[in-house]
Structure 1
């Protein structure tokens, strides 16, 4: 059984002006997502600026999220690291806090071999009982999990169940699903490819777009699974301008700006991320207005 089906939000971590985590606003964002029909919360991922959270903050944000959501929808914690021991530590602690699953990114900077990737992910999986979704995003990590390695992990390691595929390489995803034999739960990691990956057997999306448009992102998936292919496709195509604007600078710079434009008070970014360039902010605001969320 999949950890979740449909639209999971890769949720931002809101900060106060002084850089501290703003738990009051985080709670409001969680309620906004649940009200909008989001099917799962993915906390402390790339969009949540996990790389600039201390370990203590990382785990406190996860703990708060689990308590606030209170079982209404699944909570999946990002616990990946380029250090296997660190990933194991974050994963075991997140399990203690009651998350429903883990999202573990490929080790960045180290650029492990496929053999190293298998050993890394197996070591994490062996340390917990939770289901694990791999995260393949070579544009950010410099490391690509090959389809054969993903299938091997999902076949040989009981609690590794799927992958968030953000390579952008549709041919690679097609090959993955041709080898998967139903053993790999596929989630789109690119908001402009949700519909495409659903047609290949995907279970849903782990989405940046959902931060600002939870209902519409959910509806792309819900309509698809209900057999309304045209309705699903139409929302996907209508969202392309907004998807482009949300990634015209490195994530999560644009999506935090978008939330602030919606008066959701996501706050500033942590260095080395900086505020959005004015020309790109204008482009984002226009896309949000055209999509009907401003």
Structure 2
């Protein structure tokens, strides 16, 4: 089993200054905060990192800042995905992946391919990638579910497809994947609210949004889950349950950035078409953060 991706990975935000430029100092602080508090690996330039509004140069600069702050302490995963297979392959080919342990590639959005289309898309990515590939199924954003049979087929056919970040918020689908997967293939939760249950059922951990704001508590919860200590783990889950709901109430990553603002780690600025969390939601989040023990 690929132990690099066991436990808690975090889908890092991209902090912005008030002028909407990338706040590299805040980003480095968030990386250090996570590593020092138990986060097991870092995921760069995913949905939570607002990858769709980041330029190619900004992406390079973000990777450089995170790599320097990390300094080899934990594994890193880079988001390279989209709905243009040829463009993804080109990006994989021209990107320096020497510091990366895997790429995370989201299922194509908008195009709504068939299951065979999804298979062929990821087959092409697997064959182009010099490093491991983590599939990312998030039908709420892509409008197309990658069926467990397609994920399992890819897992069986390609050695460098080592895991799936499953974010369908569908317990039955998680259980099907865990039941049918090859022994060394990892099922990683992409749903913060379901992560502990997935781990207790045999999942490998989580790529979390909320985990980056409460890394000590969240990573301890996942660790206890991996050890089968359900009651102790659920005690921590219940401490975080309200804020997990809050951060997805309006939009991700506006919610998690409101948490970071309350923690004085970065501004809550997001790029259009996203807008910051409403004042009512920010007040709830600030209250949770100030009361959290």
Give deviations 1:83-138, integer Å, cap 9, x for gaps. 11222233334443521111110111111111111111111111122111111111
What secondary structure sits across from 2:136 in the alignment? strand
Structure 2 SS opposite 1:103: strand
Instruction: Specify whether residues 23 and 165 from structure 1 end up closer, same or farther in structure 2 by C-alpha distance, changes over 3 A only.
Output: same
User: Which residue of structure 1 aligns with residue 42 of structure 2?
Assistant: 41
Deviation per CA, 1:33-78, whole angstroms, max 9, x where unpaired? 1111100000111110001001221232123322321210001011
**1:33, 1:94 → 2: CA distance?**
25
Scaled by the length of structure 2, the TM-score of the pair is 0.95
Q: Does 2:20 correspond to 1:14?
A: no
For residues 202-244 of structure 1, give each alpha carbon's deviation from its aligned partner in whole angstroms, at most 9, with x where no partner exists: 1111000112101111101112233422111211122111100
Distance (whole Å) between structure 2 residues aligned to residue 88 and residue 283 of structure 1:
43
Distance in 1 (CA, whole Å) between partners of 2:225 and 2:121 is 35
Q: Which residue in 1 is equivalent to 2:277? A: 276
Aligned to 2:203, the other structure's residue is in SS state: coil
Partner in structure 1 of residue 84 of structure 2: 83
**Match for residue 261 of structure 1?**
262
In structure 1, what is the Cα distance between the partners aligned to 2:267 and 2:84? 29
2:208 aligned residue: 207
Relative distance call for 1:266 and 1:10 in structure 2 (3 A) is farther
Instruction: Please report the TM-score for the alignment, with normalisation by the length of structure 1.
Output: 0.95
Compared with structure 1, are the counterparts of its residues 227 and 183 closer, same or farther at alpha carbon in structure 2 (3 Å cutoff)?
closer
Is 1:95–1:128's contact at 8 Å kept on the other side of the alignment? no
Structure 1 residues 118-129: aligned runs within 5 Å: 118-129=119-130
Deviates more, 1:265-274 or 1:62-71: 62-71
* Number of the residue aligned with 1:23: 24
Residue 291 of structure 1 deviates from its aligned partner by: 3.3
Aligned residue pair count: 292
Q: What is the Cα deviation at residue 286 of structure 1?
A: 2.8
Correspondence 1:116 to 2:123: no
Listed as ranges, the matches of 1:241-256 within 5 Å are 241-256=242-257
CA RMSD, Structure 1 to Structure 2 (Å):
1.5
SS of 1:239's equivalent in the other structure is helix
Q: Which residue of 1 aligns with 2:104?
A: 103
Cα distance in 2 for partners of 1:38, 1:161 equals 20
Q: Which runs of 5+ in 2 are unaligned?
A: none
Secondary structure of 1:96's aligned partner: coil
Distance change (3 Å), C-alpha of 1:40 and 1:223: same
Kindly indicate whether the alpha-carbon contact (under 8 Å) linking 1:194 and 1:236 is maintained by their aligned counterparts in 2: no
